[in-house]
Amino acid sequence: MARILLVPGFWLGAWAWEEVAGQLRSLGDEVEALTLPGLDPADPERLSATLETQAHAIVAAGREGDVLVAHSGAGAVAYMATDLALELFSRVVYADSAPMPDGFVLNPALGDAAEFPLPDTWAEVEAMGNSLAGLDEAMLARFRERAVPVPAGVAGRPVTLGDSAARLKVPTTVICCSFPSELVQQLRDAGEPPLFRELRNIDAEYVDLPTGHWPMWSKPEELAELIHEAAQH
């Protein structure tokens, strides 16, 4: 079976993948979940983390043939990791995420702030386009309790990619949750918002998992099944 490397999105550590990781192991997969640099609250140097240090951390954790799974904002650093280590990953799976283009900034409104915390209200989170569908009060309370602000070097800096187009050939699966796959492909072709623009250059597989932006909590078994299936290709 596959070895799968799970990378969580903004505000999250490896803990966010616990249910999905357990389900994948029950299917026979070997699993490692990462807490990226900058997202460990016990790290005194966490504010110095950048997109580049996160991408290098993914490469350092990877083994040849790994299936790399990225959620949400981690799509940026996962794509950068494939650019750094072109032969390392056998497939990349984007869970309610996408490979983000060169120059893309995850939070251009961050300004001079040192970090980007989880917004104070859930209404603000949803106003950012992040659906909370499928999350109950206990899940939201755990999210709030364990969320770690994202350093500015990650949230407010542009994605940087090399000149090689080899990363475009890494087999890619996009698991569409907040937006159905049909809409994602329409937005891809339109080039707006730029979040999906890079997918125009990639022959990706699109699969649907209708739920909110945090499928690892709202539909962990279904998400694990889709990741497992993608890893077999």
Which helix (H) or strand (E) segment is 58 a member of? Answer: helix 51-61
Query: 119-145 burial, b if ≥16 CB within 10 A, otherwise e?
Result: eeeeeebeeeebbbebbeeeeeeebee
Cα dihedral 39, 15, 78, 154 in deg (nearest 10): -20
pLDDT digits (tens, 9 = 90+) for 9-28: 999 999 999 999 999 999 99
Tokens for 171, please give them: 């087999």
In percent, how much of the chain has pLDDT > 90?
Answer: 93
- The whole-number pLDDT of residue 193 equals 83
In CATH, what number is assigned to the domain containing residue 211?
A: 3.40.50.1820
Tell me the C-alpha distance between 77 and 99, whole Å: 9
- The whole-number pLDDT of residue 111 equals 87
pLDDT digits (tens, 9 = 90+) for 149-198: 999 999 999 999 998 889 999 999 999 999 999 999 999 999 888 899 99
For the chain, the domain total comes to 1
Tell me the C-alpha distance between 219 and 205, whole Å: 20
pLDDT digits (tens, 9 = 90+) for 53-72: 999 999 999 999 999 999 99
- The whole-number pLDDT of residue 1 equals 80
Q: Quick check: pTM over 0.85?
A: yes
Q: Which of 22, 62, 20 is nearest to 175 (CA)?
A: 20
Structural domain range at position 213: 3-231
Tell me the C-alpha distance between 100 and 80, whole Å: 9
